[in-house]
Structure 1
Amino acid sequence: MATDLFRSPARRARRRAVALSAACVVVLAGCAPGPGAAPHGVVPASSAAPASAPASAAAAAPGAAGSGAAGSSSAVATTKVPVYWAGAADGEQRLFREFRDATEGPAAVDPIAAAAALLTTAAPREPGYRTLWSPVDQVGSSTSPDGTITVDLPAEAFRAGLDEQDAHLALQQLAHTVTATASSTGLLPQNAEPEVVVLVDGRAREEVFGSVRLDQPLRPDGNLEAPLWLLDPREGPHPEGTVEISGRALEGVDDVRWAVLDEDGATVAGGSVSTTVRDDGTVGFRTEVELTPGRYGVTVTGRDAEGGTVRDDGAVEVVAR
């Protein structure tokens, strides 16, 4: 019987941290951005957006601005984008990542807009996760050579009356989603420290969620991420031979172990990993495994400060050279 790593992760019980690790490259065809003054680099509603863009071109031009808006047709090349949800871990609210198919949501001209739109319209697979945004059918986005990402959202995306904690978490949900997408699709300059400028119907420095003024760019706060992340391998074809397994854990997570399972759920390799404390206070881990062609599930687990199990899962396809 096939292991549940190859089925919906929402069916796995007793889990505090779940994320699907996968490759994230998506190129979508053009459509018009939302109303109001467009951010720098966004195609205005009266202008024609490109009909399509090859993945290689998007990755080769990180400084080129893009634009996106949901609500018109698109041609999808590859479709996985990272989307972050709010959820509870260790008694605190954290951000949990799922890789989602961009075709689940409204169409957009670039992967950043696609991911931001999914943030508002898609339902998390894991029952304990939630979004703090209201659904909208259009999102605009652009990137600049210094790593600034501008996202233009309709006013109705911002739920009224969120308390201060949830409003902060909502903005971090957006910041993590769009910066992770920009990074994974090659839309950020190398070594850039991305920040996110949020516009509301094309206007800067608006008040949102009833109490928050958008007068400063957002930066992703790593302390809000789930306790354990699997970073590699990313889903997609890997040549047979050595496959790297790596990731990071928040401070206080220890006894990190890994396992590789075949499609029948049998463990083909596994063990513990040594960890290294990084400058940002997180703990990194890395190991390697030799794999023959086939499709595998990858799992990492650890113990948090309270003795509970934290976990992350991914999948990888190994192909013959």
Structure 2
Amino acid sequence: MAPDLFRPPTGGARRRAVALSTACLLVLAGCAPGAGPAPHDAVPASGTAPVSAAAAAPGPASSGSGAAGGSSSAVATTKVPVYWVGAADGEQRLFREFRDAAEGPTAVDPIAAAAGLLTTAAPQDPGYRTLWSPVDQVGSSTSPDGTITVDLPAEAFRAGLDEQDARLALQQLAHTVTATASSTGLLPQNAEPEVVVLVDGRAREEVFGSVRLDEPLRPDGSLEAPLWLLDPREGPHPEGAVEISGRALEGVADCRWAVLDEDGATVAGGAVRTTARDDGTVGFRTEVELAPGRYEVTVTGRDAEGGTVRDDGAVEVVPR
């Protein structure tokens, strides 16, 4: 029997192909993790959330009504959090990226936009993946008690997943839609969100061939990677100051960051001073200047059991 839907183990580490920009200028502050405050430019929306194949155009929010999958209007936010699956110390864990809703199908609200991107978008980090099949129609609605209903076509549920991956896929969805609802102000204050998943409008269906949706989903924080880099992001980066930022679970301590050149020599680094946040995570941020070349950025820490957790990214700096 696979682990409980909401309680698998922890771990931390991954690789990303990114680009950066010599010596070191350190600025440490809080960094947005998990389902935190609203991303820049977020505007709340409400109502139902069908998804169509057209590209989203950010615009003013407008409300819909009815059951999930009903009337539609423009996407009401430009940035939505999407969670992907990646490796962390030999375990499969969840990593978050903020994505532009316009990258994917148009939806009536941010929740449907995020759920649609979960199935159709390619992760920016090549070490990430999704456990969902692409669809062009998603329904969503929220209730005053914090229940989020997501209505997905049957083809979204990828065939051939084992039970553990199936449960991880459902947590991928639960994290994505609850983080989006929280960051865009669609959840009531102090609500403990839960997610009801419908399949073509039907409740309590069996999905992925192994899991029955007989209970609402609740996001399990233990499935998030204990430590990960948020910046720098993938793509060539011009020389100059480059931000290195990330988040860690509250129990992660003694965090340090380093930048290594192609020969493995450390060219910059130092201790990470973390800033505690209300959601049980800590953030960190630094800036570093690097000459043109290829580097590896790493951040390491120690978890509550004394084990080492790590994340890293291959980076390239190009001349201006």
Give the deviation of 1:166 after TM superposition.
Answer: 0.2
Give, as a single letter, the amino acid of the residue that structure 2 aligns with 1:168. Answer: R
Q: Aligned in 2, Cα 1:309/1:181: closer, same or farther, shift over 3 Å? A: same
Query: How far 1:52 sits from its partner (Å)?
Result: 9.5
What is the CA distance between 1:287 and its match in structure 2?
Answer: 9.1
Query: What letter corresponds to residue 249 of structure 2 in structure 1?
Result: A
- SS of aligned partner of 1:303: strand
Give the direction of change, closer, same or farther, for the CA distance of 1:24–1:94 in structure 2 (3 Å limit).
farther
User: Does the Cα contact within 8 Å between 2:83 and 2:95 map onto a contact in 1?
Assistant: yes
Give the TM-score normalised by the residue count of structure 1: 0.62
Q: TM-score w.r.t. structure 2 length?
A: 0.62
**Equivalent pairs: percent with the same residue?**
69
The alpha-carbon deviation at position 91 of structure 1 amounts to 0.8
AA aligned to 1:163 is: D
The size of the alignment, in residue pairs, is: 246
Hey, what's the Cα distance between the residues in 2 that align with 1:52 and 1:285? Answer: 29
Decide whether aligned partners of structure 1 residues 206 and 78 sit closer, same or farther in structure 2, where only a CA change above 3 A counts: closer
- Partners of 2:229 and 2:125 in 1: how far apart? 17
In structure 1, the residue matched to 2:291 is: none
Residue 273 of structure 1: CA displacement? Answer: 2.1
1:121 paired to 2:117: no
Q: Distance in 2 between matches of 1:277 and 1:81?
A: 20
Q: Tell me if structure 2 keeps the 8 A contact 1:147–1:193.
A: yes
Q: Does 1:310 align with 2:273?
A: no
Amino acid in structure 1 at the alignment position of 2:39: A
What is the aligned partner in structure 2 of residue 206 from structure 1? Answer: 205
Question: Displacement of 1:302 after TM fit?
Answer: 3.0
Deviations 1:157-197 (A, max 9, x none): 00122101100100000000000000000000011110000
Aligned position for 2:166: 167
- 2:226 alignment partner in structure 1: 227
Name the CA shift for 1:284/1:109 in 2 (closer, same or farther; >3 Å). Answer: same
Q: Matched residues in 2 for 1:28 and 1:208: separation?
A: 31
User: For residues 306 and 246 of structure 1, do their structure 2 counterparts lie closer, same or farther at Cα, with a shift above 3 Å needed?
Assistant: closer
Distance 1:230 1:92 in 2: 17
Backbone CA RMSD of aligned residues: 4.5
Change (3 A) 1:170 1:147: same
Q: Secondary structure at the match of 2:105?
A: coil
Unaligned runs of 5+ in 2: 1-14, 20-32, 52-56, 231-244, 259-266, 288-296, 314-320
Q: Any stretches of 5+ residues in structure 1 without a counterpart?
A: 1-8, 14-18, 31-40, 46-50, 59-63, 232-244, 260-266, 290-298, 313-321
Per the alignment, residue 84 of structure 2 pairs with: 85
| Alignment-derived partner of residue 99 in structure 1 | 98
Cα pair 1:24 1:81 within 8 Å, conserved? no
Residue number in structure 2 paired with 1:23: 39
How far apart in 1 are the matches of 2:246 and 2:165? Answer: 31
Structure 1 residues 25 and 181: CA distance shift in structure 2, 3 A: farther
Does 1:54 find its partner at 2:55?
Answer: no
- 8 Å CA contact retained: 1:254, 1:302: no
Quick one: higher RCO (CA 8 Å, sep 6+), 1 or 2? Answer: 2
Residue 12 of structure 1 pairs with residue 30 of structure 2: no
SS at match of 2:107: coil
8 Å contact 2:111–2:140 — kept in the other structure?
Answer: yes
Aligned residue in 2 for 1:234: none
Counterpart CA distance in 2 for 1:276 and 1:230 is 16
Would you say the 8 A contact 1:228–1:249 is kept in 2? yes
Write the letter of the residue equivalent to 1:272: V
CA distance in 1, matches of 2:41, 2:66: 15
Q: Distance in 2 between matches of 1:171 and 1:270?
A: 38
